[in-house]
């Protein structure tokens, strides 16, 4: 989480617990894949917690790049693929599934591009006002395309829940969008880190959705 190492570790433990319950409640393979989402959030928060420690403890300083990239791979590269993919696996309606397959392909391409960018361009992290700021050394042409990345990221992760035939799934998209707008408006400059603050809420929604899917045709 964005405020401290303890906050991140606490969130990680909570998310892991929600993830385990979600997986236990799931009845099919597609449901279990979707139910694993809180576990991935948990790993992401654990990585940022360790990153906080590496910024403050010299003994962990050499591990800082490792924790940085683990967090960023989840935060920037994993979700554009994982969200539409798991929803696509759950969907039974042919038309909805076709649209979700397109979003999954789009998210996959975006994840590959982001992964390559993270691989070839170093990232610096600094703690400021109880938040972590990630400074990217992208070339100017890449910086000029950030708006496109943001648009595609939102399109693949936020639109997918609204395509799903599950009524509760739409709330995942609503919370995702609301948390993003909140982060941009009130924490501009720390969006990547602060947005992850809402992982706990999103994970509770995941468990709520799994409970619905157990009783439906999904």
Compute the distance between CA of residue 188 and CA of residue 28 in angstroms, rounded to an integer.
Answer: 40
Residue 187's pLDDT is 60
Residue 194's pLDDT is 63
Residue 1's pLDDT is 47
> Which residues, given as ranges, of the chain have pLDDT below 50?
1
**Quick one: tokens of 121?**
């361009």
Nearest to 210 by CA among 81, 78, 21, 82: 21
Architecture label for domain 5-213: Up-down Bundle (1.20)
Instruction: Report how far apart, in Å, the C-alpha atoms of 171 and of each of 33, 65, 174, 206 are.
Output: 19, 35, 5, 9
Compute the distance between CA of residue 207 and CA of residue 213 in angstroms, rounded to an integer.
Answer: 10
Residue 110's pLDDT is 92
pLDDT tens-digit profile of 74-108? 988 999 999 999 999 999 999 999 999 999 999 99
> 192: which residues sit within 8 A by CB, 6+ positions away?
72, 75, 76, 134
Residue 129's pLDDT is 65
Cβ atoms < 10 Å from Cβ of 211: 13
């Amino acid at each position: 989480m964005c405020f401290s190492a303890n906050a991140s570790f606490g969130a990680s433990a909570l998310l892991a617990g929600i993830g385990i319950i979600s997986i236990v409640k799931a009845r099919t393979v597609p449901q279990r894949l979707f139910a694993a989402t809180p576990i991935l959030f948990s790993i992401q928060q654990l990585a940022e917690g360790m990153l906080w420690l590496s910024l403050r403890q010299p003994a962990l300083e050499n591990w800082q790049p490792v924790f940085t990239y683990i967090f960023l791979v989840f935060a920037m590269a994993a979700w554009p693929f994982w969200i539409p993919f798991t929803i696509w696996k759950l969907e039974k309606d042919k038309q909805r599934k076709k649209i979700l397959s397109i979003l999954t392909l789009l998210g996959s391409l975006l994840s590959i591009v982001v992964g390559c960018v993270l691989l070839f361009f170093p990232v610096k992290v600094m703690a400021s006002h109880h938040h972590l700021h990630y400074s990217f050394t992208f070339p100017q042409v890449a910086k000029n395309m950030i708006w496109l990345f943001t648009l595609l990221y939102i399109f693949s992760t936020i639109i997918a829940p609204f395509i799903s035939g599950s009524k509760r799934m739409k709330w995942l998209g609503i919370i995702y969008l609301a948390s993003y707008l909140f982060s941009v408006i009130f924490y501009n400059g720390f969006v990547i880190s602060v947005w992850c603050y809402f992982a706990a809420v999103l994970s509770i929604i995941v468990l709520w959705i799994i409970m619905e899917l157990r009783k439906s045709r999904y």
